[in-house]
Amino acid sequence: MNNSADKKVLIEKINKLRHEKNAIILAHYYQLPELQDIADFVGDSLALARKARETDASILVMCGVNFMAQTAKILCPDKKVLIPDINATCSLADSCRAEDLRKWKEQHPDYMVVSYVNTSAEVKALTDIVVTSSNAIKIINQLPKDKKILFGPDHNLGDYINTLTGRNMQLWNGACHVHSRFSLEELIKLKKEHPQAKVLAHPECKRVLLELSDFIGSTEALLNYVKTSSEYEFIVLTESGILHKMTQACPDKLFVAVPPETSANIVDGKPMTCHCNECEYMRLNNLQKLYKCLENETNEVDVAPELVAQALKPIEKMLSMS
Ligand code: 13P
């Protein structure tokens, strides 16, 4: 897109199409600002799933990554679910293949499986209860204390849940490539530069970073924290897309993004000019691709009906327990 006039035309076309086609646009907080701004609804994983379930739109465009679109499809299989870029995957979801989870389950026959929502439909179908970062503690606390649990795929989140609930869940060794590469050195440096700042972290970050944080929560919880806080400065340990809504909600406050470790900060042999930690898969979606997929109804995310039936149960369980 060359200029703001082109962008304006594109936005008008999208608005016309969504009206004609009875389509709803949902976006995650990690999406490009232009997508968050045009969306009917922006939320964390749990809020997006809830919104998908309650909408009466015929077409749902998920500006997020594949597992979010799949979850929406599982919750409303009669609707057409589209994603602006079909290659928008999630490194964490990809770290747990269904066949490997099946083997892990076979090795632990007396365990139940709790899976993070960042998983494929196939993995959800092998799961007893799905959780998101905003309801994981609440749900695990409702399970009997002696329940043996396999938790995956995010090791950092599992470790955090174990610490807070006193459980001893067995953890899958997966991680989000964005959250696991935040630099401890940079965080310590930023804390010295901004001694008044509150440190906010997503629970997918490593334990050493969580221990230096003042508040830990899902993207939505972090946003709510800054909205209601009387503090002025915040150091933010999650994908930097969230800064868009934080800045919109609190234009007078200061938000500082923590950069990734130096090795992750080098792209094509050169240091990145931006000091943010961005997910390249989330950022595959953009306004032009949103327009194209809505116009042509392409990039449809489909889930086989047998799989929908199996994957729906642990998601419904989550919704009823959160
Ligand atoms: P939230 O549920 O907190 O939005 O997290 C989603 C996610 O993919 C984090 O990496």
CA of residue 218 to ligand 1 center, whole Å: 6
- Give the ligand 1 atom nearest the CA of 179: 10
Nearest CA to ligand 1 atom 6: 45
Please give the radius of gyration of the chain, using alpha carbons only, rounded to the nearest integer.
20
Which atom of ligand 1 approaches the CA of 46 most closely?
A: 2
How close are the terminal C-alpha atoms of the chain, in Å?
41
Task: Please list the alpha-helical segments (H only) found in the chain.
Answer: 4-20, 33-38, 45-54, 66-75, 91-94, 98-107, 121-125, 136-142, 155-165, 184-193, 207-210, 219-228, 242-249, 287-296, 305-321
* Cα of 45 from ligand 1 centre, angstroms: 6
Span from the CA of 87 to the centroid of ligand 1 (angstroms): 18
Best residue among 133, 160, 206 to mutate for probing ligand 1's pocket (most ligand atoms within 8 Å of CB) is: 133
In whole angstroms, what is the distance from residue 121 CA to residue 303 CA?
Answer: 7
* Ligand 1 atom 2: residue of nearest CA: 45
Report the separation in Å between the CA atom of 219 and the middle of ligand 1, taken as the mean of its atom positions. Answer: 6
Q: Which one of 45, 92, 246, 319 would you pick to mutate in the ligand 1 pocket, going by the greatest count of ligand atoms within 8 A of its CB?
A: 45
Assigned token pair, 235: 């150091």
Query: How far apart (Å, rounded) are the C-alpha atoms in residues 275 and 93?
Result: 25
CB 242 within 8 A of CB 282: no
| CA triple 282-287-289, angle to 5 deg | 75
- Is 104 in contact with 148 (CB distance < 8 Å)? no
Burial of 20 per CB tally in 10 Å (0-12, 13-18, 19+): exposed
What is the spatial distance between Cα 115 and Cα 124, in angstroms, rounded to a whole number? Answer: 7
* pTM for the full predicted model: 0.94
pLDDT tens for the 322 residues of the chain, in order? 668 889 999 999 999 999 999 999 999 999 999 999 999 999 999 999 999 999 999 999 999 999 999 999 999 999 999 999 999 999 999 999 999 999 999 999 999 999 999 999 999 999 999 999 999 999 999 999 999 999 999 999 999 999 999 999 999 999 999 999 999 999 999 999 999 999 999 999 999 999 999 999 999 999 999 999 999 999 999 999 999 999 999 999 999 999 888 655 555 665 554 567 899 999 999 999 999 999 999 999 999 999 999 999 999 999 999 9
Strands laid side by side in the 112-116 sheet: 129-131, 112-116, 149-152, 170-171
Write out residues with Cβ below 6 Å of ligand 1.
44-45, 118, 132-134, 176, 202, 204, 218-219
Q: How far apart are CA 68 and CA 89, in angstroms?
A: 10
In 3D space, the residue among 290, 278, 274, 191 whose CA is nearest the CA of residue 242 turns out to be: 278
Measured in Å, residue 57 CA sits from the centre of ligand 1 at 24
CB 199 within 8 A of CB 235: yes
Cα–ligand 1 centroid distance for 134 (angstroms): 9
Report how far residue 108's alpha carbon sits from residue 102's, in angstroms, rounded to the nearest whole number: 10
Which numbered atom of ligand 1 lies nearest the CA of 132?
Answer: 2
C-alpha span between 261 and 206 (Å, rounded):
13
Separation of CA 217 and ligand 1 centre (Å): 10
Residue 266: predicted pLDDT: 55
Ligand 1 atom closest to 176 (CA): 10
| Local structure of residue 211 (DSSP, 8 states) | T
What pLDDT was estimated at residue 277? 87
Rounded to the nearest 5°, which phi and psi values hold at 78?
Answer: -85, -10
Which domains does the chain carry? Answer: 4-89+284-302 (3.40.50.10800), 92-175+306-321 (3.40.50.10800), 179-278 (3.40.50.10800)
What's the pLDDT score for residue 5?
A: 87
Specify the long-range contacts of residues 99-105, CB closer than 8 Å, at least 24 apart: 101/126, 101/152, 101/172, 102/126, 104/150, 104/152, 104/172, 105/150
Atom of ligand 1 nearest to the CA of 219: 3
CB under 8 Å to 222, separation ≥6 — which residues?
200, 201, 202, 215, 236, 238, 242, 246
How far does residue 195's CA lie from ligand 1's centre (Å)?
27
